[in-house]
Amino acid sequence: MFTRVLVANRGEIAVRILRTLRKMGIESVTVHSDAEADAVHVRAADQAVCIGPGPVSESYLRIDRVLDVARRTGAQAVHPGYGLLAENPEFAEACERAGLVFIGPTPEAIRVMGSKIEARRAMSEAGVPVVPGALEPVSGGDHALALADSIGYPIAAKASGAGGGKGFRVARDPGELPGAVEGARSEGERFFADPTVYLERYLDDPRHIEVQLLGDTHGNVVHLFERDCTIQRRHQKLVEEAPAPRLPEPLRTRIGELAITAAKAIGYHSAGTVEGLLAGDEFFFLEMNTRIQVEHCVTEMVTGINLVEQQVRVAAGERLSFGQADLRLDGHAIECRINAENAAKHFLPAPGTISGYQEPRGAHVRVDSGVGEGSAVLPFYDPMIAKLIVWGEDRATATDRMLRALDEFRIDGVTTLLPFHRALLASDQWRRAESCRDLLEDRAWLKQTARHE
């Protein structure tokens, strides 16, 4: 087992990883920008080193500086968390060249799944159903129109290397297609340095279902059941729950088996997530995230498995200590992402300084946070400042517990999504386990969430 690990991230995920390292008796090192010299993740580490100015391109994304810190501090392995460098195959390769263990999958697996076109091809060859669409990139306007005609409208234009809701546009008829392709291309190039775009059928109102996977370097792969991440704004998740509501057991089993097939097809190890769309009883592969997910906490709550600890153990060469038959679902868990955003103003980012902060407490209530009183929520970084997770014997009990926890959560000085979550989880649509898309697209309803302050 490692004696010292560098955490190449920030915010709540860095804090969460650092706590697990401490629990495992492993010394920790973390990095930070000069804008976050007094951040919670800095104080949570055994050692912290500044690697540059506030913008991520000058600090957290600087591979050379991260590796220099690892070398100077004697770290043996690097945990990338999520976002930033987590799905960068060049970073994983650079770690290997530097004699460091990358706590994640192989660079080859990251590279295959980092390209949505390559991922679709690999999954099609493995017999995993993909959303109907093209397995080739768009080469021009006429080509796009011809592909769209063969696929059928509405069409989703997607940047091949994108993620997190970026590089995604919908065209409902041929007139909208050029703008959709150009929008996806532009965001793919701007955010991911990859202008490649492909087309697939846009499915109206599907459930967004994802499967948590764990694999070791000895060929063992298990799934830890599924999560429902349907509630999103601009294709970015807001609420997640496990298990997925109203999912028949035979379909749950089939989706889990498909996810394992997907992982084995690329020789996957570490934690990973197969994301898909569920339309009726048809499950279609969407993408694979080759890292720990933001919403991994709900899986931990219903399985009792510490996913970050398992990542570290797998990276150290250990076999999984459990098989598929050992895993059971217990109860229901819900996670609300507490972002510094104003839902009443269509989720406008709301940076600022937190003047008061008090987390909810009680049995089966968990808060993963990277802030506290006095913390600055900076425009350089993701607006998510905390995750509130609860567990209950069933979905109704978990919902009631979440509503109580939301009422007890106090964050002063910045506008957050706390009132939005209170309104959403109190809605009839949530209680009926609907997609809630009607609410999220209703500007009048969003404005009314301000009343829940």
For 25, 247, 271, 306, 322, the CA distances from 303, given in Å and listed in that order, are 23, 17, 14, 9, 12
Whole-number pLDDT of residue 204: 82
Looking at the structure, give the CATH architecture of the domain made up of residues 4-103. 3-Layer(aba) Sandwich (3.40)
> What residues does each domain of the chain span?
4-103, 132-201, 207-452
Residues 74-130: tens digit of each pLDDT = 999 999 999 999 999 999 999 999 999 999 999 999 999 988 888 999 999 999 999
For 65, 106, 204, 406, the CA distances from 79, given in Å and listed in that order, are 15, 13, 37, 31
Whole-number pLDDT of residue 136: 87
Least confidently predicted of 166-170, 220-224, 298-302? 166-170
16 is catalytic: no
Percent of the chain with pLDDT over 70: 99
Is the model's pLDDT at 410 over the cut of 80? yes
Residues 288-320: tens digit of each pLDDT = 999 999 999 999 999 999 999 999 999 999 999
Q: What's the mean per-residue pLDDT of the chain?
A: 94
Whole-number pLDDT of residue 164: 64
Over residues 348-375, mean pLDDT? 95
**Would you identify the CATH topology of the domain 132-201?**
Dna Ligase; domain 1 (3.30.1490)
Whole-number pLDDT of residue 373: 95
Whole-number pLDDT of residue 452: 57
Residues 331-342: tens digit of each pLDDT = 999 999 999 999
Catalytic residue among 169, 291, 366, 395: 291
Whole-number pLDDT of residue 268: 97
Over residues 158-175, mean pLDDT? 84
Most confident of 44-53, 146-155, 196-205, 233-242: 44-53
Whole-number pLDDT of residue 190: 82
Give the Cα separation of 419 and 409 in Å (integer): 10
Is the model's pLDDT at 451 over the cut of 80? no
Place of tokens 């517990």: 401
Cis peptide before 243 (omega within 30 of 0): yes
Is the model's pLDDT at 228 over the cut of 90? yes
Whole-number pLDDT of residue 134: 85
**Would you identify the CATH topology of the domain 207-452?**
D-amino Acid Aminotransferase; Chain A, domain 1 (3.30.470)
pLDDT band of residue 382 (cuts 50, 70, 90) is confident
Residues 242-286: tens digit of each pLDDT = 999 999 999 999 999 999 999 999 999 999 999 999 998 999 999
